[in-house]
A = this chain, B = another copy of it.
Amino acid sequence: MSSSIAAAPDRLLPSDPGTRAIARNLLELVQDLPIISPHGHVDPAMLASDTPFPDPASLLVTPDHYVKRLIHASGVPMDRLVLGTSPDVDARSIWREFCKAWPLFDGTASGYWLRSEFEHVFELREEISEATADATFESLQRRLNEPSFRPRQLFKDFNIEVLATTDDPMDDLRFHAEIAADKSFEGRVLPTFRPDAYLNIAHPDWVENVDKLIGEAGDGASGYAGYLAALENRRDYFIKHGAVSADHGVLTPRTLKLDRAEAERLFVKARCGEASAEDRDIFEAHMMYESARMSVQDGLVMTLHPGSFRNHHLPSFEKFGADTGHDIPFPVSYTEAVRPVLQDFGTAPDFNFILFTMDETVFSRELAPLAGFYPSVYIGAPWWFLDAPDAMLRFRSAVTETAGFSRSSGFIDDTRAFCSIPARHDASRRIEASFLARLVAEHRVSEERAAELIVDVVDAAPRRAFKL
């Protein structure tokens, strides 16, 4: 038996013995339920081709900006963590940097997930350390070469029922189609419509993207009319390939209904490269209104996640690109911002509008009150920097007293790190059990109801919020 803390059966459960006993019982009810992952960033090609993962660094370090960022903060230059930047950087050297930095991860969510993966996915018995770097690299490499560590086998072993990817609107979705057509693989792998690069006129490729979008999907129409038609057509294409949601990463939560002429005017201005920063904001806000309208029509769940200053450190962005660990949150407020959408569609039948945040202040102040009135609004699970044990407990504490358990989205792993999926869902289930156990211990919820609620929260909530 491993002595790793990740092997402890009571990990993440509350320390008070009475509450822990209740939490254990609740956890047992959901521990073996299938994983539903309605939002994430796993590459569908990986599952379509089912090729082995190349090496531990490429699997666990280089694609995970949660991991790289903290190593970088300790003083390791980013190019020591990116393949192809220098002849002396290879998978093994990156793995050594990671092992050296491993003690920095104590107490972090990433550290918890990695430790769980080492324990439960890879059954690694050595502790990660600078001294054992080569040994653990080789142990893991051997595992990755085994057939049981191919993506599809892991998908099955992880007990994943549904996995949604995140995809460009012009993606032909052939990997999704391949996976769906293959009768030998039972997992559902769904695309998600993510049109940011087509709606944000400040995106460097916006003009090119829009030209292509209209040209290929605009039904022959040109200009703004073709643009809207093409977006609607591509949403339909995604729906035909199983998509259940459209995901929107925006700067602010602002929404706005422009009249047609004004929207067209901005669209034309933007295509000429003449739009101002304020034009960008207004057009994005308007396109959120339009996206909501489309969701009401075609049934795609709309998820919104504003409030991140993307690529905060320009030199790192220029050298290493996006998603390299320096997207930094800032304050948001939803109350006035989403009102235009909620005025018109807040009580529309079958409209699901899931609001995410990295600014915890909105949980009790805005999201619980909104979701506690509007049938369309779901409170997005705590995610990104907030997808962690204490933050998840703060989330439940902040929203439940106003909105109960039925108005939240269910857990979202939002990950590129395929092998971390079981650890993330396991952590979430443990925290749900912990929170409910406290309510039981304080006689705020009966033990019978808590047993029903934990199944609802883990299993029914994501199916309900994402129409699965």
Chain A residues within CB distance 8 Å of chain B: 5-6, 8, 10-19, 69-70, 72-75, 77, 103-109, 111-112, 309, 312-316, 325-331, 333, 335-336, 339, 342-343, 346-347, 358-361, 364-366, 368-375, 377, 385-386, 388-391, 394, 397-398, 400-407, 438-439, 441-446, 449, 452-453
Contacts and interface: CB of A to CB of B under 8 A. Distances in A.
A18 B19 contact: no
A331 B375 contact: no
A450 to B, nearest CB: 8
A388 to B, nearest CB: 4
28 contacts: A10-B443, A12-B442, A12-B444, A16-B16, A70-B404, A72-B373, A73-B374, A73-B406, A77-B347, A104-B405, A106-B405, A107-B401, A107-B405, A107-B444, A107-B445, A107-B453, A109-B402, A313-B347, A316-B347, A326-B374, A331-B365, A359-B365, A360-B364, A364-B386, A389-B444, A390-B400, A391-B401, A394-B397
A107 B439 contact: yes
Contacts of A373: 69, 72-73, 312-313, 325-326, 328
Given A328-B370, A342-B312, A391-B401, A75 B107 contact: no
A369 B385 contact: yes
A14 B442 contact: yes
A18 B366 CA distance: 36
B106 A331 contact: no
A2 B282 CA distance: 58
A193 B42 CA distance: 50
Listed from nearest, the 4 A-B pairs whose CB atoms lie closest are A388-B401, A15-B441, A8-B443, A11-B443
A330 B374 CA distance: 16
Contacts of A330: 333, 335-336, 365-366
Nearest to A6: B443
Contacts of A444: 5, 11-12, 107, 112, 389
Nearest to A374: B73
A226 B455 CA distance: 64
A315 B329 CA distance: 34
Given A5-B444, A106-B445, A439-B107, A361 B331 contact: yes
Contacts of A445: 5, 106-107
A110 to B, nearest CB: 9
Nearest to A452: B103
Given A106-B404, A327-B369, 7 more contacts: A15-B441, A70-B372, A73-B403, A313-B343, A313-B346, A330-B365, A358-B365
Contacts of A109: 401-402
Contacts of A375: 72-75
B108 A401 contact: yes
Given A368-B385, A386-B364, A441-B15, A335 B343 contact: no
Given A329-B366, A369-B328, A103 B449 contact: yes
Contacts of A406: 73-74, 104
A372 B106 contact: no
A339 to B, nearest CB: 6
Contacts of A339: 309, 312
A189 B96 CA distance: 41
A375 B75 CA distance: 5
A15 B22 CA distance: 11
A402 B374 contact: no
A375 B368 CA distance: 34
A397 B390 contact: yes
Nearest to A107: B400
